[in-house]
Amino acid sequence: MSDYKTTCTVATDCLRVSIGTVCTPCSCPDAAINIADQDRYNADFARARSACGAVNGCIAACAIPQAKCTSGKCTL
Protein backbone atom coordinates (compact mmCIF):
# COMPACT_ATOMS: atom_id res chain seq x y z
CA MET A 1 0.00 0.00 0.00
CA SER A 2 2.85 2.37 0.71
CA ASP A 3 3.85 2.12 -2.95
CA TYR A 4 0.68 3.89 -4.07
CA LYS A 5 -0.16 7.56 -3.70
CA THR A 6 -2.87 8.04 -1.07
CA THR A 7 -2.98 11.83 -0.80
CA CYS A 8 -6.08 13.67 -1.97
CA THR A 9 -7.95 16.93 -2.04
CA VAL A 10 -11.47 15.64 -2.72
CA ALA A 11 -13.19 12.23 -2.64
CA THR A 12 -13.08 11.92 -6.43
CA ASP A 13 -9.28 11.76 -6.16
CA CYS A 14 -9.71 8.37 -4.44
CA LEU A 15 -10.27 4.87 -5.81
CA ARG A 16 -11.35 1.73 -3.92
CA VAL A 17 -8.88 -1.13 -4.29
CA SER A 18 -8.15 -4.56 -2.89
CA ILE A 19 -4.75 -4.66 -1.21
CA GLY A 20 -5.29 -7.87 0.75
CA THR A 21 -4.81 -11.40 -0.55
CA VAL A 22 -5.42 -11.39 -4.30
CA CYS A 23 -5.70 -15.17 -4.64
CA THR A 24 -9.15 -15.36 -3.04
CA PRO A 25 -12.18 -15.51 -5.34
CA CYS A 26 -13.62 -12.33 -3.82
CA SER A 27 -11.10 -9.52 -3.87
CA CYS A 28 -13.28 -6.96 -2.16
CA PRO A 29 -12.07 -3.36 -1.74
CA ASP A 30 -10.24 -2.91 1.54
CA ALA A 31 -8.22 0.26 0.90
CA ALA A 32 -8.22 3.47 -1.12
CA ILE A 33 -5.51 5.02 -3.27
CA ASN A 34 -5.24 8.14 -5.40
CA ILE A 35 -6.84 7.60 -8.80
CA ALA A 36 -3.59 8.78 -10.42
CA ASP A 37 -2.12 5.35 -9.55
CA GLN A 38 -5.05 3.38 -11.04
CA ASP A 39 -3.18 2.07 -14.10
CA ARG A 40 -0.18 0.96 -12.02
CA TYR A 41 -2.47 -0.66 -9.44
CA ASN A 42 -4.40 -2.51 -12.18
CA ALA A 43 -1.16 -3.83 -13.68
CA ASP A 44 0.18 -4.87 -10.27
CA PHE A 45 -3.11 -6.57 -9.37
CA ALA A 46 -3.26 -8.45 -12.69
CA ARG A 47 0.36 -9.59 -12.30
CA ALA A 48 -0.23 -10.78 -8.73
CA ARG A 49 -3.51 -12.46 -9.65
CA SER A 50 -1.90 -14.33 -12.57
CA ALA A 51 0.46 -16.02 -10.11
CA CYS A 52 -2.52 -17.48 -8.22
CA GLY A 53 -3.46 -20.10 -10.78
CA ALA A 54 -7.15 -20.84 -11.17
CA VAL A 55 -9.35 -18.65 -8.97
CA ASN A 56 -13.01 -19.66 -8.97
CA GLY A 57 -15.70 -17.00 -9.23
CA CYS A 58 -16.89 -15.09 -6.24
CA ILE A 59 -20.24 -16.28 -4.91
CA ALA A 60 -20.65 -13.59 -2.25
CA ALA A 61 -21.34 -9.93 -2.74
CA CYS A 62 -18.74 -7.51 -1.45
CA ALA A 63 -19.71 -4.69 0.85
CA ILE A 64 -18.55 -1.71 -1.19
CA PRO A 65 -17.60 1.18 1.08
CA GLN A 66 -17.28 4.66 -0.39
CA ALA A 67 -13.80 6.01 -1.01
CA LYS A 68 -13.39 9.40 0.63
CA CYS A 69 -10.76 12.01 1.31
CA THR A 70 -10.19 12.38 5.03
CA SER A 71 -7.64 14.94 6.22
CA GLY A 72 -5.85 14.77 2.87
CA LYS A 73 -5.66 10.98 2.70
CA CYS A 74 -7.75 8.49 0.70
CA THR A 75 -9.72 6.22 3.03
CA LEU A 76 -12.76 3.95 2.97
pLDDT, one tens digit for every residue, the chain (76 residues): 569 999 999 999 999 998 877 888 878 889 999 999 999 999 998 898 888 877 777 777 888 889 999 999 999 9
pLDDT value of residue 16: 94
pLDDT value of residue 15: 96
Cα(15)–Cα(29) distance, integer angstroms: 9
pLDDT value of residue 2: 67
- CA-closest candidate to residue 68, choices 4, 5, 8: 8
pLDDT value of residue 56: 74
Structural domain boundaries of the chain? Answer: 11-75
